[in-house]
Amino acid sequence: MLENKTVILGVSGGIAVYKAVELLRLLTKAGATVHVVMSKNAQEFVTPLTFQTLSGNPVHTELFNLYQEQEIGHISLADRADLFILAPATANLIGKIANGLADDLLSTSVMATKAPVLVVPAMNSNMYENPLYQQNEKKLAEAGYQVMEPATGELACGWLGKGKLPEPELIFAAADAMLTAKDLSGCRVLVTAGPTREELDPIRYLTNYSSGKMGYAVAAAAAARGASVTLVSGPTSLQTPYGVEVVPVRSAEQMRAAVLECFAESDVVIKAAAVADYRPARRGENKIKKTADEMTIELEKNPDILSELGTRKQEQVLVGFAAETESLLVHATEKLQKKGLDMIVANDVTAEGAGFDVDTNLVRFLFADGKVEELDLMRKEQVANRLLDQVAELWQAKRQ
Ligand code: C5P
């Protein structure tokens, strides 16, 4: 939870500095106050003015600057941080911290802070693999710094390998998780998301408008709250959320198999997927040819995965979604009871800002004991956290 938190973003010199600009934007958008500290080399890649404009705060660059000292001072800067992020963190910066060196404002501030520190390395893959670097990184991890694993891909120097700065969204999620209370620690959560695709032939399928955003937001938020999360996902264009294991599937049948495999080991199941109710009764082995003027497609019913879980459940908390276009409460209540759920998230997908493929949602929570909670229109990430507040309570109650 980065809202109203003070974050120091320490930027050291590497080509990935431009990605720190995007990270800063995500942090401020989430409501954090961000102070940027740049090393001398970092300023060769992007000017302090860019960070200053986007953070709305002066950028700190000098250890001995009379004006900056008077304004804030490197110790008070380190003191007031809720979180310190080093992105990109070069081999040089990591080497300095690991060996207790503090010879500029950035290394001094990191040394002086008592706040949690997220270190996001970025460097050439040979440098990354160098045993001396690896020792330094290990020292940081052992001292309690959280070190992110770099991404693999094409590096700025043209090499292909490990050492890239992870995408800003992933760094943001890791930072957010560091400031989030771990009320789901020890809880194994299974989430389903996205649409299913029901094939007609090798090149055509039936599907729906689900983007997967709601389910992905639930999986990401659950991971940030300490749960171990498996996300069984239909086809979407979304990035794997930080700390989540994704099992990709296409059809309802595949989703059923993946869900049943994990079910016994799950404490909570949240079924946000928009599973197709029907599938073509026959799948053409080859492309169906255009011959007759009319064509009829015969459909057969897909298995209702959630209902099946309802009959099999032991101690699991079972949460379903009901996307409706009319008589919302009637349909949602019926599903809650018929499918044996502990809770259902009801949303009228015709309402402005709600439903498929938008970033917000307007929902109500209905519970097995008849309780109803109505939420305002809010971002899907917020809906996810409100949902998990309820799930955490239901899970705790079942454990006692
Ligand atoms: O019956 P309806 O499709 O409206 O129910 C929605 C809820 O049931 C969602 O949680 C959805 O993931 C789940 N569902 C399912 N298997 C199906 C159809 C829906 O698990 N075949």
Tens of pLDDT, residue by residue over 187-196, are 999 999 999 9
Ligand 1 contacts CB of residue 344 (under 6 A): no
> Across-strand partners of 323?
347
**198/334 same-domain check:** yes
Q: What CATH number is associated with residue 111? A: 3.40.50.1950
Ligand 1 contacts CB of residue 271 (under 6 A): yes
For residue 187, indicate whether it is catalytic. Answer: no
Taking CA atoms, 226 is separated from 99, 141, 174, 180, 262, in Å, by 31, 19, 12, 9, 18
23-32, 328-337, 348-357: least confident range = 348-357
Chain-centre distance for alpha carbon 238: 10
Question: From the alpha carbon of 309, which atom of ligand 1 is closest?
Answer: 20
The model's pTM is: 0.89
> Across-strand partners of 141?
none
For residue 239, give the 3-state DSSP assignment.
coil
Instruction: Tell me the residue range of the domain where 333 lies.
Output: 188-399
DSSP 340-393: T-SEEEEEETTSTT-STTSSEE-EEEEETTS-EEE--SEEHHHHHHHHHHHHHH
Ligand 1 contacts CB of residue 171 (under 6 A): no
74-99 pLDDT tens trace: 667 788 899 999 999 999 999 999 99
**362/342 same-domain check:** yes
**130/204 same-domain check:** no
Asked whether the beta carbons of 154 and 160 are under 8 A apart, the reply is yes
Task: Name the residue of 275, 329, 366 whose CB sits within 8 Å of the most ligand 1 atoms, as the mutation to test its pocket.
Answer: 275
The answer on pLDDT for 158 being more than 90 is no
Counting beta carbons within 10 angstroms of the beta carbon of residue 399, is it exposed (0 to 12), middle (13 to 18) or buried (19 or more)?
A: exposed
Question: How far apart are the C-alpha atoms of 250 and 103, rounded to whole Å?
Answer: 54
Spacing, Cα 276 to ligand 1 middle (Å):
8
Mean of the pLDDT values across residues 112-122? 96
**218/338 same-domain check:** yes
**164/205 same-domain check:** no
**372/260 same-domain check:** yes
Whether 1 is in a domain gets the answer no
The answer on pLDDT for 65 being more than 80 is no
How open is the CA angle 65-60-146, to the nearest 5 degrees?
130
State the pLDDT at residue 67: 52
Question: How far apart are the C-alpha atoms of 55 and 32, rounded to whole Å?
Answer: 9
Tokens at residue 257, please?
């198999």
The answer on pLDDT for 148 being more than 90 is yes
Average per-residue pLDDT for the chain = 94
295-329 pLDDT tens trace: 999 999 999 999 999 999 999 999 999 988 899 99
Q: What CATH number is associated with residue 340? A: 3.40.50.10300
State the pLDDT at residue 316: 96
In the listed set 126, 157, 178, which residue is the last one of a domain according to the structure?
Answer: 178
In 3D, which of 10, 163, 166 has the Cα closest to residue 86?
A: 10
Domains held by the chain: number: 2
Spacing, Cα 221 to ligand 1 middle (Å):
22
**167/270 same-domain check:** no
User: Pairing between strand 363-367 and 378-379?
Assistant: unpaired
In 3D, which of 16, 341, 335 has the Cα closest to residue 167?
A: 16
Whether 183 is in a domain gets the answer no
Give 149 or 354, the one with higher predicted confidence.
149
Number of residues in the chain: 400
State the pLDDT at residue 63: 76
In the listed set 178, 212, 241, which residue is the last one of a domain according to the structure?
Answer: 178
Ligand 1 contacts CB of residue 275 (under 6 A): yes
User: Which stretches of 56-90 are DSSP H helices?
Assistant: 66-71, 74-79
For residue 1, give the 3-state DSSP assignment.
coil
State the pLDDT at residue 161: 87
Residue in the structure block whose two tokens are 């963190």: 89
Task: Name the residue of 259, 306, 343 whose CB sits within 8 Å of the most ligand 1 atoms, as the mutation to test its pocket.
Answer: 306
Give 399 or 252, the one with higher predicted confidence.
252
Ligand 1 contacts CB of residue 218 (under 6 A): no
Spacing, Cα 287 to ligand 1 middle (Å):
30
- Cα atoms in the Cβ-side hemisphere of radius 13 Å centred on 69: 5
State the pLDDT at residue 76: 75
Tokens at residue 309, please?
């879980």
In the listed set 155, 178, 201, which residue is the last one of a domain according to the structure?
Answer: 178
Ligand 1 contacts CB of residue 263 (under 6 A): no
What contacts 337, CB < 8 A, 6 or more positions away? none
Q: What percent of the chain has pLDDT over 90?
A: 86
**296/360 same-domain check:** yes
**161/306 same-domain check:** no
**150/260 same-domain check:** no
Question: How far apart are the C-alpha atoms of 274 and 185, rounded to whole Å?
Answer: 28
54-63, 176-185, 263-272: least confident range = 54-63
**287/159 same-domain check:** no
**121/254 same-domain check:** no
Helix (H) or strand (E) holding 247, with range, is strand 244-248
State the pLDDT at residue 157: 73
Enter the DSSP assignment of 286. Answer: S
